[in-house]
Amino acid sequence: MKRALKLVGLILLIILALLIIGGLFINYQGIPTYDVQKIDHQVISTPESIERGKKLVSMLCANCHKDHQTGKLTGTRMPDAPAEFGVIYSQNITQDKKYGIGEWTDGEILYLLRTGIKKDGKYAPPYMAKLPTMADEDIDAIISYLKSGDEMVAADPTPDYPCEPSLLTKILCRVAFKPLPFPAAKIELPDTSDKVALGKYLAHNLDCFSCHSADFKTNDFLQPELSAGYFGGGNLPLNLEGQLMPTSNLTPDMETGIGTWTAEQFVKAVKNGFVEGQEALRYPMTPYVYLTDDEAKAIYLYLKSIPSIKNKVDRAVIG
């Protein structure tokens, strides 16, 4: 019996030693590096595409990359990133050639936005949104704007602060969060006359489902409808004070979702942040002032078409 216990103890020690060695190796190696596929892609910019790109960047990128003191996309500390991910800084994505993306080709920007792989092969961890299902035309509009001379993206030599990813982030980037596949075929814009299809496209590609489903860890970015608790709320992003902010149930459930909401109420909440004189939005969600009323209504119509989830979310701040 004693011999058996010693053997079990020895095995456990070996397993523990292997785990420690593995953890030290992963911590030393850092975020994984992947082969970079060279994409021959040239965006033809127009005033219309630049304006469309500014709208998309303002809704998708600016919340993280904008320095609110200067108004430029030079990157900043992200205090709302979960502490277990480490110390996270967004990067300079202005046209500066040294610190920004001034030397990046259109193909390199496209590849990063689609897959999460940077031009040096480094993987952009899960706290950077990827756009695997966005239409080619909208991706090109984003690139057009990032390459434009607009004040928000004009070259600014503000140095990047290197992120300090935690061991957990480094492990997750090896076992759970990996690069997404580059689309094999062109992705078309939805038919804008089909309001439900347009709403679905916006709800997915403005990353609404990511926060309003059950958990970031169980989101499916290639097929968002397969995400656990799809639009049922209860996920726990952070505000700027590091407090957990439960997300609302946006399914058409009559008791716990938006089943009793009118389109007008939804549009006011999404675009203005208030409904019936009450605060409807809380950071990290900010009013989507760049959406048209028709676009916000399209999102509402799509949400009203999805399966209901009965999930009462207490909006009280946690922590």
Query: From CA 192, how far away is CA 292, in angstroms rounded?
Result: 13
The yes-or-no verdict on residue 151 having pLDDT over 80 is yes
- Out of 31-45, 133-147, 150-164, 165-179, the most confident range is 133-147
The yes-or-no verdict on residue 194 having pLDDT over 90 is yes
pTM score over 0.85: yes
The yes-or-no verdict on residue 277 having pLDDT over 80 is no
pLDDT at 23: 60
In sequence order, what are the residues at sequence separation of 6 or more whose Cβ sits closer than 8 angstroms to the Cβ of residue 179?
A: 34, 115, 116, 117, 123
Map tokens 């996920």 to a residue: 235
195-305: CATH topology is Cytochrome Bc1 Complex; Chain D, domain 2 (1.10.760)
Query: From CA 19, how far away is CA 67, in angstroms rounded?
Result: 40
Query: From CA 197, how far away is CA 189, in angstroms rounded?
Result: 10
In the chain, residues under CATH classification 1.10.760 are 47-175, 195-305
Q: Which of 63, 90, 187, 178 is nearest to 132 (CA)?
A: 187
- Out of 121-135, 163-177, 260-274, the most confident range is 260-274
The yes-or-no verdict on residue 138 having pLDDT over 90 is yes
Q: Mean pLDDT throughout 179-204?
A: 97
Q: Which of 135-144, 172-181, 259-268 has the lowest mean pLDDT?
A: 172-181
Q: Token pair for residue 175?
A: 């076992």
Q: What is the CATH code of the structural domain delimited by 47-175?
A: 1.10.760
